[in-house]
Structure formats: C-alpha cells, structure tokens
Structure 1
Amino acid sequence: MPTQSDALAHAAHPSSTPAMLPFVGVDIGGTNTRIGLFASLDAPTFTLLARFPTPQEYARQVEQICVTLREHGLLNALAGIGVSIGGRLALDGRMVTIAPNLLDYVQQPLAADLEAGLGCPARLAHDPVCGLLGEKRFGVLTPSERCAYVTLSTGTGAAIHLEKAGVGVTVSIEIGHQLLDGNELRCLCGQVGCLEPFTGGRQLEQRYGRPIEQVQDSAFWETFSDKLALGLVNLAQLTKVEVIAVSGAIALHNPFLLPLLQRKIDARLNWTRLVLIPARLKEDAPLVGAALLLATPEESILH
C-alpha cells in the first residue's frame, strides 16, 4: 500500500515516476456528491465517474465512494483521494467536526475509512478551501495575494488566502455563521443571529417552502443581497482581501446577483476596494481543488 508521504512526493514531482498513478477528487456537497478522476494535476480536466444525491448517512457515503472507485478498477491504484466537504474539519484535517447540513458525518473517521477502503492516502478540506485552491491554481484568483472564495449554495461558506513573497496560507472561515445585530433567527448550527438563515439555500427553502431558485420576488433578493453584502464587507475589513471568486448554485443560477452585491459593497466601503468575480471553474472549483489537496502542503491550510 502506498504511504501518504510517497503519494504526496509523487504529486509534487510527478515526472519522477514513469507510470503516473491517477488522482481522485470528491466533492461532497449538502445536496450532491461528485467523483472525478484526474490523470494529472497539471490541468483542471477530469473524467466524471459519478454524481449522486449526497446520502445523509455517513456509512452509505463511504460505501458509495469506495464501490464507485472499485468498479472502475482503482482499488490500490491511486496516487491519492482528495475530498471537499461541506463541513468544518478537525485541526488535523482528518474528520468533520461541524456540519449542520451533514450531521451524521460529524466525528466520523472519514480520511481513515477512505484510506482503508481504497488503499491510498486521503486528504480532506472544507469545500470553500477546495474551491479557493482550484481558482488560485487555474482560475480567476491566480494573480491575487489577498483573496477569498465564497460559495452560495446549500450553505454559505468561505475561505481566504493571504500570502507574501510566494509564502501563503489558506484558511477556512465561517462567513455564514457571523452574527448580525438584531437578527433573532435561529440557524441550523444552533446559534441565534447567523447570516446563513438569510443566504443559505437549505434554510431559505425551509422558511419559504420552495427551492430558492423558484423565488422571483425582488424584495427577497434585496434582503438577501443586503445581508450578504454586509457579511462580505466585514470579511474585507477583517482580512484585507481584495478579490473574491464567487460560485455555488445560487450564484450560478442568478447572474444578476453579483452586480447587485457589488453595488451594495461599493456603497459601504469608503477607503478600500473589494471586487467580486464569478469563479472561472464554476461548480467544478471544489472538485478540482479536492484533487489539488494531494499536492498542497498540509501546513499551508488552516482547517
């Protein structure tokens, strides 16, 4: 069985191995899971092996991933598997510790179970971290030293990247769970006052009784963008990020949203500039970033 250090060394120096083993990226979202096979990490191209509704049962998810890869003859034949997941991770990046939309996954040994089932190293990260890795390597964030990635989907997630002289760190943050003054709504995370009840697809669907993509009310989108713009301004003021790549189903299905958010952000920020840009890789950013975990130094990511 290949060790994690062997696979990561191979990922960093692929030319050192004549017969390159492929990589797998998995994107476990609150709604759907996708599995992609990457021949190398030199391009954001992959073969989609499977797409299915995300099981709420942890054991079923691990089984589906392992069965899919075994059916494609990839047991003991991978350089590694990287997983993007809609939940906060333990400090060592080996399991999920907080996941309001995936409760059965919390405190489960996900990395260890995948390694045991597939015979290869496994790396995990919060989905916005993976989205940021994808956009930083192949997308709109490539030239930026102070940047962020925000996903607007089942939940509202973000990661930031700060660097100087080529040395950087990527940090998972809980933008959707910052507290808004005067907000008495209870979030799925258990807190009262979070941003996410105003911007998270699952919570909005529960409140309005229908999927958010069916909501056409302009007053709804004014409230949505008012709350989110405030959250993004707070992010810029606290971290000094200058550009944000935005993705997720809500952003992708509502092209009017980013210009509306940009106007509201511009009206609030007086002495700095924050630019919103659609993610170039769109919904593939977390999947591509999941595979890139295998070539990303562990110490450069703060879970």
Structure 2
Amino acid sequence: MPQVIGVDIGGTALKLGRFDAMGHCRAQLELTTPQPATPGAVATALLEGLEHLDPQRQASGIGVGVPGPADPAGRVARVAINLPGWRDVPLADWLEAQQERPVTIANDANCAALGERWLGAGQGVQDLLLLSLGTGVGGAVIMGGKLLTGRLGIATEPGLILLDPSGPPCNSGNHGSLEQHCSIAALKRLSGLEPAALAEHAAQQDHTALAHWQTYGRRLGMGIASLAYLLTPERVLLGGGIAGALPYFRPALEQELQQRLLPMFRQDMVILPCALGNGAGRTGAARLALDRLCPSGERSGKRHSPD
C-alpha cells in the first residue's frame, strides 16, 4: 500500500504526517515555523523535518499546503500575504531537487477541505464551504465533489471578500474584508482578549464576553450569507483557532443567516466544526499527493475514519 507525506505550512507551526492510502497516519511531526518565515528558511526547516519523519523514504510523494494560492500545476506558491517574501516561490521544484520524489502544492485551506471530506466532517458531501478562522480567514469550496479553484488556480479566497468598505485595511489592499472582521486580530481589537480567554469568560456567563461573541457571530454570518448566495453549500465547516468557541457565537451566526438568506438558499445547509482540528491541513495535503501523484490503481478511494 503506497504511503505519502502531507505538510501544512502555518505561520507558527509546520505540521507533517506520513499516511497510507486508507488515511491511517503512520508518523507525525510538528516543528516551529522559523521566524522570519521567509521561503528559504521554511524550505530548509521542511527538508530537515522530512528527513526526521521519513528517513527510510517510505513515502512515494509529498503534498504541501501553503498559506496562499498556488498555480494550477501545483508547483508555485503565488503569494502568502501574511508571510514575508512569499511571491512566486517554486517550492515544489526546491523540495523535489533535494528529496528526489514528486511534490505537489496547493492552498492550505484547500488541503483542509480535502482532508475533512476524506476523513472528517465533510464525508459524503458533494458541496461544502470551509472557513478557517485563525491568524487570517482562509477558505475553500468543494462543488460536485471537486475543489473549486478557477481558471488561474487561485479562486475562493473568502476571507478577502468585502464586508465593510470603511473597515480596517487588509494586507490584500482591500478595506473591511471578512478577514479584518473575523480573524484573531479582529477579535482582539473587539474585545482586547485572545479567543481562548474570551471563551473562558463566556463560559462563566460574563455578559461582556457573550456580547463580543454575539458581535463576532453577526459579522461572520454576514460573510457566510454572501457566500451562500453564490455557492449554496450543503455544509459549512468552521476550523481554525476561533472555531472552538462556536457554541458562543453560533446563535448570533444562525440568526444572521435566518435574516439575510432566503429560505431556499439555506435549505438543508448545516454548520459544523471541522472534525480533524489542526490535522486537517496535513491530512488533506496527503490526499492531494495521493490524487495527483499516485497512479489510481495503487490507492483506495474509500474513506475511513482515522484510528
């Protein structure tokens, strides 16, 4: 049974896992992202991590999730607006030259969506929207069972859609993007607290904390409503560091959707937290490697829950 490696590049951590074709994780490793997280420094750290994770070269291919869009061929990281120096980085070529085995890359949120559909909360769903609520707001769309990436391979960056034209500036050049209202930094501007601390206050029925989560839920609901009118997803999956507080902002979120969406556009639409947690990205990157790099006869298309 073939094995592949899935890698998730994040602003604070590099997550690696070696998987078989049934989705079982045979080995895993997490490294601190070098700072500053320039392309060269990250590539060097990844090469060291790959040697530790798979010294016997059991994996036949590598999939990498990058924090931004990739080219359609899965070779070049086009841009990562929250990491320094990431513009048109030929990451797959760099890693292949040292690893001597095929590498393919994709947007990290796309990888997370693939992982959740393979082994997580998106199993059996043909049309889903995933939002990653963390340092930024990433996202991915699967329609008809396939990733929606557009003609340039960079479609579906939901965090960059407009929410409020007079809102805070975004690294994309936009103002008032969904990311600037629903990221960790946005929540800290609103409340002065990290998400975990704000959730702790809410758990103690602190009225101010609960009010902040209501505001957050309304803002997120506005963004999801706009996306739902375009995509009509069957399932909306929420991941990232803020998603753990879903019980505190779900009521306001769902109320916003009720008010803003015509019934036919929210018919059968379910909002769920991602099931794979911080492992979704590397799991989906492994699935990406299986799909792109391994001959179809060598892998199983069946989906199984992880051990």
Range into which the TM-score falls when normalised by the shorter chain: 0.7 to 0.9
Match of 1:48 in 2: 28
What is the CA distance between 1:261 and its match in structure 2?
2.0
How far apart, in 2, do the equivalents of 1:204 and 1:254 lie? 14
Give the secondary-structure state (helix, strand or coil) at the position aligned to 1:142.
Answer: coil
Contact 1:134–1:286, Cα closer than 8 Å, also in 2: yes
How far apart, in 2, do the equivalents of 1:134 and 1:257 lie? 25
1:222–1:291 CA distance, 2 compared to 1 (3 A)? same
Match of 2:259 in 1: 267
Equivalent positions of 1:105-254 (< 5 A) are 105-163=86-144, 168-171=146-149, 172-202=155-185, 204-205=187-188, 211-215=194-198, 216=201, 217-254=209-246
Give the secondary-structure state (helix, strand or coil) at the position aligned to 2:85.
Answer: helix
Equivalent positions of 1:91-106 (< 5 A) are 91-106=72-87
Per-residue deviation, residues 81-133 of structure 1 (Å, max 9, x unmatched): 11112211223322222312113222221111111121111111111111111
Match of 1:25 in 2: 6
What is the CA distance between 1:62 and its match in structure 2?
0.8
RMSD of aligned Cα (Å) = 2.4
Amino acid at match of 2:72: L
Contact 2:187–2:216, Cα closer than 8 Å, also in 1: no
How far apart, in 2, do the equivalents of 1:236 and 1:72 lie? 40
1:93–1:202 CA distance, 2 compared to 1 (3 A)? farther
Contact 1:147–1:241, Cα closer than 8 Å, also in 2: yes
Contact 1:160–1:173, Cα closer than 8 Å, also in 2: yes
Contact 2:104–2:292, Cα closer than 8 Å, also in 1: no
Amino acid at match of 1:170: L
Give the secondary-structure state (helix, strand or coil) at the position aligned to 1:145.
Answer: coil
Match of 1:284 in 2: 279
Contact 2:164–2:175, Cα closer than 8 Å, also in 1: no
Give the secondary-structure state (helix, strand or coil) at the position aligned to 1:88.
Answer: coil
How far apart, in 2, do the equivalents of 1:223 and 1:229 lie? 10
In the alignment, structure 1 segments of 5+ residues that lack a partner are 1-13, 15-19, 299-303
What is the CA distance between 1:221 and its match in structure 2?
2.1
When structure 1 is superposed on structure 2, of 93-102 and 217-226 the one drifting more is 217-226
Aligned residues, how many? 275
When structure 1 is superposed on structure 2, of 228-237 and 264-273 the one drifting more is 264-273
TM-score normalised over the length of structure 2? 0.80
Match of 1:17 in 2: none
How far apart, in 2, do the equivalents of 1:209 and 1:113 lie? 41
Amino acid at match of 1:123: T
1:46–1:228 CA distance, 2 compared to 1 (3 A)? farther
How far apart, in 2, do the equivalents of 1:72 and 1:175 lie? 33
When structure 1 is superposed on structure 2, of 176-185 and 189-198 the one drifting more is 176-185
User: Quick one: which of 287, 293, 296 aligns to 2:291?
Assistant: 296
1:205–1:59 CA distance, 2 compared to 1 (3 A)? farther
